[in-house]
Structure 1
Amino acid sequence: MQIKDKVFVITGGGRGLGLAMARHLAEQGGILALIDLDAGVLDSAVSECRSLGGSAHAFVCDITNEAAVEATFEQIKETCGGVHGLVNNAGLMRDGMLIKVKDGELQAKMGLDQFRSVFDVNVTGTFLCTREAAAIMAVQGEGGVIVNISSVSRAGNMGQTNYSATKASVATMVVTWSGELARHGIRVGGIAPGVIATDMTAQMKPEAVERMVQAVPLRRLGEVEEMAHTLQYIIENDFFTGRIIEMDGGLRI
């Protein structure tokens, strides 16, 4: 699929990785439908994408709310004329150990809300957005592409019971949906990034960042532009489906 003049929905598109991918698609002439909870960051993201030559529109939506997602995708279809691509980028992290015990005494447990809230955004949100986007694409009859953002943590990571489980879930959805949706000409792929340099990592203590860098064979963090380039490959390669691209600098060697 060519990017120019195609409509791409990006969840969590107001900042970070979502905005970086939106900017990249805007430079290629894509039409962006950006979903986020924060109207302020969305307005800024839309202005930035338009300044790069792309068409962009903001949609404030809680992707864990079924009715809101249905209404938002109907709005996107009416505003943009359809949907050709979806990037399930929105995600939530609420890290913590399963239990904490000190001197034989139980100090803390991961709360059910802490567990469920991450699943609500990362899994339920991905499911709802994909269902609505796929329905539009299938009826349009022009094919399409869906990309789930997973993580290197999908293999399991201490302190991330909730997050790791969700990122494993969205990776398995790639395989399931690629088989189901191929008959409609819809491809489904995924990207599993390692540690990427974002506003969040920029706020971390230098020693913490250095520890992460030392774990990566390439001895650096990934760049948001490299994530965007990987997304472009999946969109433009019409024989790519049902697979996850690991974008982690060799972290899992």
Structure 2
Amino acid sequence: MKLQDSVIVITGGGQGLGRAMAEYLAAKGVKLALIDLMPEKLEEAVAACKAAGSEAKAYTCNVAKEEDIEKTFKAINDDFGQMNGLINNAGILRDGLMVKHRDGEIVKRMSLAEWQAVMDVNLTGVFLCGREAATHMVSNGDQGVIINIASISRAGNMGQSNYSAAKAGVSALVPVWAKELARHGIRVMGIAPGFIETEMTASMKAEALEKMTAGIPLRRMGKPEEIASTAAFIFENDYLSGRMIEVDGALRL
């Protein structure tokens, strides 16, 4: 797929990896539709994409709400007249042990609300956005690409029952959708980042960051642009479909 003048939707596009991918693709001539819950962050991201030389529009939307998603994707399709790509990036964290035991007693358990909040955004939201993007691509006759952003936590990470389960589900959707949508000229891929330099990691204590980095064979965290360049590679390689690419500095071998 040629990136120049293609229309790509990015969820969670107002900040972090979403914004980094948006700016990277904007510099390559991609027209961006950015979805997020934070209007201020969205407007900043849109301005950055325009400064990079491309067209971009902001859409405030909760990806966990079906009606919001349906309206938003219809609006995007109406605004741009086509839909060539989706990066399912929006996600949240509600980390904690399933059962926390201290001094001979249970002091905390992961609540159903903590479990469900992550599932609603990180898994159900991915399904809803993927379904709507595919609907418009098929209806328009637009050949396109869907990229699901997972995590190496999909293999299981202590303190992340909800997040790991959701990201495993997100990864499982990749081959399913790739097989179902291939007949329509739609490819589906996934990216599983390791530890990446974002606003969240920047707020961590120095000793925690040092310990985290020491466990990575390449001895550094990834940069947002390294995830962005992976997404661009996927869009441009027309024979990539149904697979996950782990970008983790050899952390998960």
TM, length-normalised to structure 2:
0.99
Aligned residue for 2:218? 218
Q: Is the 8 A contact 2:83 2:142 kept in 1?
A: no
Aligned residue for 2:111? 111
Tell me how far apart the structure 1 counterparts of residues 195 and 105 of structure 2 sit (CA, whole Å).
34
Aligned residue for 1:162? 162
Tell me how far apart the structure 1 counterparts of residues 17 and 25 of structure 2 sit (CA, whole Å).
12
Q: Secondary structure at the match of 2:2?
A: coil
Q: C-alpha displacement at 1:195, in angstroms?
A: 0.2
Q: C-alpha displacement at 1:178, in angstroms?
A: 0.3
Q: Secondary structure at the match of 1:158?
A: coil
Tell me how far apart the structure 1 counterparts of residues 121 and 8 of structure 2 sit (CA, whole Å).
20
Aligned residue for 2:35? 35
Q: Secondary structure at the match of 1:57?
A: strand
Tell me how far apart the structure 1 counterparts of residues 137 and 32 of structure 2 sit (CA, whole Å).
16
Within-5 A mapping of 1:1-253: 1-253=1-253
Q: C-alpha displacement at 1:241, in angstroms?
A: 0.2
Identity of aligned residues (%): 54
Deviations 1:159-210 (A, max 9, x none): 0000000000000000100000000000000000000001111111011111
Opposite residue 171 of structure 2, the aligned amino acid is A
Structure 2 unpaired stretches of 5+: none
Opposite residue 213 of structure 1, the aligned amino acid is T
Q: Secondary structure at the match of 1:228?
A: helix
Q: Which 4+ stretches in 1 moved above 3 angstroms? A: none
What's the C-alpha RMSD, in Å, of the aligned pairs?
0.6
TM, length-normalised to structure 1:
0.99
Structure 1 unpaired stretches of 5+: none
Tell me how far apart the structure 2 counterparts of residues 68 and 252 of structure 1 sit (CA, whole Å).
36
Q: C-alpha displacement at 1:142, in angstroms?
A: 2.5
Opposite residue 34 of structure 1, the aligned amino acid is L
Opposite residue 183 of structure 1, the aligned amino acid is R
Q: Is the 8 A contact 2:82 2:142 kept in 1?
A: no
